[in-house]
């Protein structure tokens, strides 16, 4: 059997066992609000996202996970649903309690500095505005090197954002790209590299998906993702 075939079978078993464990936790009531958005480039097409007021965001995919450590802006979701239709938001103890619309925080706000940068006023991050650098795809290392060498608006301390930081500029009311195009007008509707690695036996990194939002594990040596650099402004 070819080495690549054996690796695919091993990864498939890893995914199968992981999902079995997840559904056991769901049955025990330890996980909730589970959805399965499409995950292009993962090899098996699925990722599990779980939103919680206690841990800002968990993204779990093919046996790999991270917990967000940075507060994220509000998603703007203001409606609640059961498994088939919109409903009045339930009270604690009722079915379907704990939805995104029931946890409010500051909405994302931005300022265009007129120098190729965007200030994210909610998070204190300074973002690279343009996407002219994305005429080509990059590997994870190429994206990291690009940010490390970037000099923009008089700053030379640019870096790859974490996956939580990338998630903070996703606009869930938009699609392809899922971003506010007033401030990021040329954003691609594809994957953007983050600095966050996967907790796995594979050398993967997390990519932020700007087609519809989400986070997807991607092999670091795969040249199929974009880059947007960031620095801490305040």
Q: Considering the domain boundaries, does residue 80 fall inside one?
A: no
| Structural domain harbouring 177 | 3-73+108-232
Distant-in-sequence, close-in-space partners of 69: CB < 8 Å, separation ≥ 6: 56, 164
Q: Considering the domain boundaries, does residue 35 fall inside one?
A: yes
With CA atoms as reference, report the closest residue to 75 among 109, 50, 107, 52: 107
Q: What is the pLDDT of residues 177-213, one digit of tens each?
A: 988 899 999 999 889 999 988 766 567 887 888 888 7
Q: Considering the domain boundaries, does residue 134 fall inside one?
A: yes
* Cα separation, 173 vs 158, whole angstroms: 28
Check the CA dihedral 150-212-95-97 and report its sign.
Answer: positive
pLDDT (0 to 100) of residue 185: 94
State the pLDDT confidence band at 11, using cuts at 50, 70 and 90: low
- The kind and range of the H/E element at 24 are helix 3-27
- Indicate whether 100 pLDDT > 50: yes
Q: Considering the domain boundaries, does residue 22 fall inside one?
A: yes
Q: What is the pLDDT of residues 48-98, one digit of tens each?
A: 333 333 233 333 333 333 444 456 676 777 788 998 899 999 998 899 988
Q: How many domains, the chain? A: 1
Q: Considering the domain boundaries, does residue 126 fall inside one?
A: yes
* Cα separation, 119 vs 122, whole angstroms: 9
Q: Considering the domain boundaries, does residue 211 fall inside one?
A: yes
For 169, the token pair is 């500029």
Q: Considering the domain boundaries, does residue 9 fall inside one?
A: yes
pLDDT (0 to 100) of residue 200: 63
* Cα separation, 124 vs 122, whole angstroms: 6
pLDDT (0 to 100) of residue 138: 93
Q: Considering the domain boundaries, does residue 169 fall inside one?
A: yes
Q: What is the pLDDT of residues 131-176, one digit of tens each?
A: 999 999 999 999 999 999 999 999 999 999 998 898 889 887 788 8
């Amino acid at each position: 059997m070819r080495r690549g075939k054996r690796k695919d079978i091993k990864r498939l078993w890893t995914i199968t066992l992981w999902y079995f464990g997840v559904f056991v936790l769901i049955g025990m009531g330890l996980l909730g609000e589970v959805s399965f958005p499409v995950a292009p480039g993962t090899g098996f097409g699925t990722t599990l996202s779980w939103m919680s007021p206690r841990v800002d965001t968990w993204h779990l995919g093919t046996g790999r996970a991270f917990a967000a450590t940075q507060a994220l802006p509000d998603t703007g979701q203001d409606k609640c649903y059961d498994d088939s239709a919109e409903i009045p938001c339930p009270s604690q103890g009722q079915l379907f309690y704990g939805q995104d619309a029931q946890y409010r925080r500051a909405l994302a706000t931005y300022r265009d500095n007129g120098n190729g940068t965007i200030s994210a006023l909610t998070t204190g991050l300074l973002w690279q505005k343009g996407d002219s650098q994305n005429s080509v795809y990059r590997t994870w290392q190429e994206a990291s090197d690009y940010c490390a060498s970037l000099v923009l608006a008089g700053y030379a301390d640019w870096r790859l954002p974490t996956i939580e930081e990338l998630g903070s500029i996703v606009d869930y009311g938009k699609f392809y790209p899922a971003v506010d195009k007033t401030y990021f007008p040329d954003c691609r509707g594809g994957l953007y590299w983050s600095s966050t690695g996967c907790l796995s036996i594979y050398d993967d990194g997390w990519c932020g998906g700007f087609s519809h939002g989400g986070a997807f594990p991607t092999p670091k040596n795969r040249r199929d993702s974009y880059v947007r650099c960031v620095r801490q402004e305040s």
